[in-house]
Amino acid sequence: MARIGKVMAQVAMVMNLDKCIGCHTCSVTCKQAWTNRSGVEYVWFNNVETRPGQGYPRRHEDQERWQGGWKRTAAGRLKPRAGGRLKKLATIFANPKMPAIQDYYEPWTYDYEHLVSAPLGDDIPGARPRSLLSGDPMQIKWSANWDDDLAGGEELGSQDPIVQKIGDKVRFEYEQSFMFYLPRICEHCLNPSCVASCPSGAMYKRAEDGIVLVDQDQCRGWRMCVTGCPYKKVYFNHKTGKAEKCTLCYPRIEVGMPTVCSETCVGRLRYLGVVLYDVERVGKAAAVKDERDLYAAQLDVFLDPGDPDVQAAAARDGIPARWIESARRSPVYQLAKHFAVALPLHPEYRTMPMVWYIPPLSPVVDALSETGHDGEDAGNLFAAIDALRIPVEYLAELFTAGDPAPVKRVLAKLAAMRSYMRRINLGQAPDEAIATAVGMTGADVEAMYRLLAVAKYDERYVVPTAYGVDEADRGVIEEIGCSLDFEGGPGMGGMGGGAPFGEASGRPQAAAVENFHALRDRQTSDGHTGPPRRVNLLNWDGKGRPAGLFPERDQKAGTAPARDPESRNPENKEPQ
Amino acid sequence: MTPSALDYLLWGALPYVVLAVLVGGTVWRYRYDRFGWTTRSSQLYESRLLRIASPTFHFGLLVVIIGHVVGLLIPERWTDAVGITDDAYHVTALSLGALAGVTTLGGIALLIWRRRTTGPVFSATTVNDKVMYLVLVAAILAGLATTLLSAVAGLTGAPEVDYRETVSVWFRSVFVLQPDVAAMSAASGAFKLHALIGLALFALFPFTRLVHAFSAPVGYLFRPYVVYRSRDRRPTAATRPIRRGWS
């Protein structure tokens, strides 16, 4: 065993693509939680793509054009593909490789007003689409999932960069086509090229849990991160002029809850867990010469949380015992390393992505069943995996830099599991030979089946709470007091300070573990938990002046002040 | 010519008011509006014109700024001492200055035209932006006017007050807290106008998107690519000491 360098923990995700039904619930709930604001109308931190398809933004995988990720130089070093530090600064006045809004889609709303204000006439009034950017009427031509379910078929599907790469073998005719859904979020890479591209140093990887975030106070809107990310998962908020990205729902992760996309996933296909890795091996692993070795290199960076040496090294590097324990139960480690059925998305970008995917066996099963063969027989499935070159090649381009061997290995394991478990379901004797054929034991196959098919909530989401916020560090928490009371915070009478230069300025609202409980109290209590009061317009009868609804009247005018600053502190109140 | 009361007001007092506003305003903005401190780029809306206009404007402006630094901060006797004749200096300064100024003006003209004609970009333009553009363009125009007038004067041999003996002397004197009002009041009208518009621009600076110039990311050249950071215990108040509610 090689020497263990500095151990770091990463909250990672695995998605089982066989179970994705493409319902977009993850995308919608994510959008409701995070990007339901002006400036990010076009932004989907989570989106679900139909593959083959162009994805969102359109053809984002075409790195010849978008120049995302890292490039290995002749000397074996890594450099952002879009250029190093000097080139970044030289092109800072206009980013030459930034996708335009049309590459995502122009956000729109509908002219609902017209439905009620249209003059009486013979025609039923309609709500025409209007651009949310310019307010002008527009033609809707594209959106985040325009080519859903192979909509557009040959015409759009053939524009998929991977389809173009593997040649003209991919068919889009109904009978011969295959498709699957690919939900995508930020990969929270071990070697993030967006972070490397940020001239301001506003983007960072959190040391405790590996979540990649944008410091909104430090971002200056240079837009290099948008180019740097090969997955195009950093977005530019055109209202605030700042970069925004998937936060892995860190306020939820910090209190031990799964991300919104995981929580609401209808197919229950997402797994969350901690992976321990050796940060000193990351640079070397990301720079291996052959792209096809990147998958294996990344696996080598992960440390076995069951190994006492690793546990000792993790404790040495300040990782709390409960995190190490959590890593031992991590479904992500199980699926990625132990069973080795999860694969990284586009390892060839050399960013060491940390959202992994179990490739779908369904294209193989479907093709097999259509030919009239038994789609659950191990022998048939193994033969089909070898014979069906197109889906396998396509999956290999997605997950293993084009190397079909690991994809075939994973699909064979999934096929073996399917076949092995069918025998058990039918009351037949378990056939150990099926498991042996894919290098597993029957017990292994059953354990994998349990994790993939029946795992309950707390088995799928093994998320330890952030350091310093639970009983283990109670002293720290008590120091903090009311978490809304920081200077300029909501508890001090401001909503994160004023906004001297319009809605885009001022301080952003705190969203962190410290105010989680306070926010929950506010959401669940019957009364007001403190100023500033919020008025629910749905309940307001239009009479009177509820406190907090209108701006305060001039005190000299003699009317009662809407809000008395002194009454904020209950101790100052006179007895009634 | 003895300086009038107005001269004292404009060249003796006003510079310090502007300096106070510039420094105080920048500190205030940094403390209270770091979230609003951004380029507010409109590249997402429109890229084709921006990719020509923005570098043209910014690189032109960089040369203009270097020209101002050289012209204002380096005393005439230093260049004399290294043997640069007055004529050689002015020919170089005026030609380079005119070139950079015209480039900058062309860049900003294209930028403003783009801003006006591209729907989404125009929608994203605030009153603050419009005022800033007005003052910025006026400053560039007045600056170009001084350059052209100097060049014309140089060519025709008309008597021309050398800015290095008037404006520059005054500019340096401001920073040693002994404003040489007499030197500035002896400058030509075009220079006075340019200086006044410049002062207005500096006063506006902290309150507009221009602040992004202060965060030119030079540090990027010297930091490792990947940045790690520990979780803030209190993200939004981390930069200021936390006070109890009653204090």
Task: Give yes or no: residues A152 and A240 share one domain.
Answer: yes
Closest CA to A431 of A379, A374, A375, A383: A379
Q: Looking at the domain assignment, is residue B135 inside a domain?
A: yes
Q: How far apart are CA A576 and CA A363, in angstroms?
A: 73
Q: CATH number, domain at A83? A: 3.30.70.20
In this predicted structure, what is the pLDDT of residue B143?
A: 95
Q: Do B39 and A510 touch (CB under 8 A)?
A: no
Task: Say whether both A382 and A507 belong to one domain.
Answer: no
Binding residues of B: 58, 68, 194, 212
Judge if A386 and A517 occupy the same domain.
no
- Count of alpha carbons within 13 angstroms of residue A11, beta-carbon side: 30
Does B231 map to a domain? Answer: no
Would you say residue A567 lies in a domain? no
Q: What is the mean pLDDT of residues A52-72?
A: 95
Instruction: Kindly state whether residue A343 falls inside one of the protein's structural domains.
Output: no
CATH number of the domain residue B58 falls in: 1.20.950.20
Q: What whole-number distance in Å separates Cα of residue A492 and Cα of residue A106?
A: 39
Query: Which residue among A134, A206, A466 places its CB closest to the CB of B229?
Result: A206
Contact B58 A88 (CB under 8 A): no
Average pLDDT along chain A: 86
User: How many domains is chain B built from?
Assistant: 1
Q: Which of A220, A237, A254 is the last residue of a domain?
A: A254
Q: Is residue A547 part of a domain?
A: no
Per the CB < 8 Å rule, is A241 touching B126? Answer: no
- On whether residue B84 sits in a domain, the answer given is yes
In a domain, residue B242? The reply is: no
DSSP string, chain B: ----HHHIIIIIIHHHHHHHHHHHHHHHHHHH-STT-S----TTT--HHHHHHHHHHHHHHHHHHHHHHHHHHS-HHHHHHTT--HHHHHHHHHHHHHHHHHHHHHHHHHHHHHHHHSHHHHHT--HHHHHHHHHHHHHHHHHHHHHHHHHHHHHHT-----TTTTHHHHHHHHHTT---HHHHHTS-HHHHHHHHHHHHHHHHGGGSGGGGGGG--GGGGGS-SS-EEPPPSSGGGTTS----TT-
Range of the domain at B74: 5-215
Q: What is the mean pLDDT of residues A257-263?
A: 96
Q: Lowest-confidence range among A80-89, A102-111, A515-524, B163-172?
A: A515-524
Spatial separation of the C-alpha atoms in residues A444 and A435, rounded to whole Å: 8
Residue A568: pLDDT over 60: no
Window 140-199 of A: residues touching B by CB (8 A cutoff) are: 191-192, 195-196, 198-199
pLDDT tens, A495-534? Answer: 444 445 555 555 555 555 666 666 666 666 665 555 555 6
- The answer to whether residues A502 and A412 belong to one domain is no
User: pTM of the predicted model, to two decimals?
Assistant: 0.85
Chain B neighbors of A491, CB-CB under 8 A: 245
Residues A232 and A85 in one domain: yes
- Give A 214-243 residues with CB within 8 A of chain B: 215-223, 236, 238-242
Q: Decide if B24 is inside a domain.
A: yes
User: Six-digit token pair at A120?
Assistant: 């009486």
Asked if the model's pLDDT at residue A289 lies above 80, the reply is: yes
Classify residue B238: in a domain, yes or no: no
DSSP string, A198-261: -TTS-EEEETTT--EEE-TTT-----HHHHH-TT--EEEETTTTEEEE--TTHHHHHTTPPPHH
B39 chain-A contacts, CB cut-off 8 A: 220-222, 241
A77 at B interface, C-beta within 8 A: no
Chain A contacts of B45, Cβ < 8 Å? 100-101, 133, 238
Residues 251-290 of A with CB under 8 A from B: 254
Q: Which residues contact B207 (CB under 8 A, 6 or more apart)?
A: A501, B25, B29, B128
Q: Are residues A420 and A487 in the same domain?
A: no
Of A440, A468, A503, which residue constitutes the final position of a domain? Answer: A440
DSSP code at position A338? I
Residue A499 lies in a domain: yes
Residue A210 sits in the same domain as residue A124: yes
Q: Which among B112, B105, B102, B113 has a CA at the least distance from the CA of B133?
A: B112
Cα A76 to Cα A349: distance, rounded to the nearest angstrom: 15
Residues of chain A with Cβ-Cβ distance to B54 below 8 Å are 93-94
Query: What are the beta bridge partners of residue A276?
Result: A9
In-domain check, residue A459: no
Determine the pLDDT at residue A368. Answer: 86
Asked whether the beta carbons of residue B44 and residue A100 sit closer than 8 angstroms, the reply is: yes
- A85 and A146 within one domain: yes
Domain interval for residue A84: 19-254
| Residue pLDDT, tens place only, B17-59 | 999 999 999 999 999 899 999 999 999 999 999 999 999 999 9
Do A249 and A394 share a structural domain?
Answer: no
The average pLDDT across A452-460 equals 95
Q: What is the pLDDT of residue B96?
A: 92
How much of chain A, in percent, has pLDDT values that exceed 70? 82
The whole-number average pLDDT for the span A432-458 is 95
Residues A433 and A486 in one domain: no
- Residue A434, in any domain of the structure: yes
Cβ-contact A46, A70 below 8 angstroms: no
B209-246 residue pLDDT tens: 999 999 999 999 999 999 999 876 544 433 444 444 44
Give the confidence band of A566 by pLDDT, cuts at 50, 70, 90. Answer: very low
Residue B241 has a pLDDT of 47
Let me know: does A4 contact A278? Beta carbons within 8 Å: yes
Q: Is residue A5 part of a domain?
A: no
Contacts A86 to B, Cβ<8 Å: 221
| More confident: A447 or B157 | A447
Is the pLDDT at A228 greater than 80? The verdict is: yes
Residue A199 is nearest to which of B57, B119, B220, comparing CB atoms?
B220
A437 band by pLDDT with thresholds 50, 70 and 90: very high
Number of domains in chain A: 3
Domain assignment of residue A335, yes or no: no
pLDDT above 60: residue A356: yes
In chain A, what residues touch B116 (CB-CB under 8 Å)? Answer: none
- Based on the domain organization, do A240 and A387 belong to the same domain? no
At residue B247, the pLDDT reads 41
Contact B212 A206 (CB under 8 A): no
Region class of B216: left (phi > 0), else alpha (psi between -120 and 50), else beta: beta
Which two three-digit tokens encode residue A164? 């173009």
Which chain B residue lies closest to A351 (C-alpha atoms)? B226
In a domain, B201, yes or no: yes
**Residue B222, in any domain of the structure:** no
Question: Could B212 and A489 be called an inter-chain contact, meaning their C-beta atoms sit closer than 8 Å?
Answer: no
- Shared-domain flag, residues A515 and A416: no
State the pLDDT at residue B231. 78
Average of per-residue pLDDT values in chain B: 90
- What's at A352, amino acid-wise? M
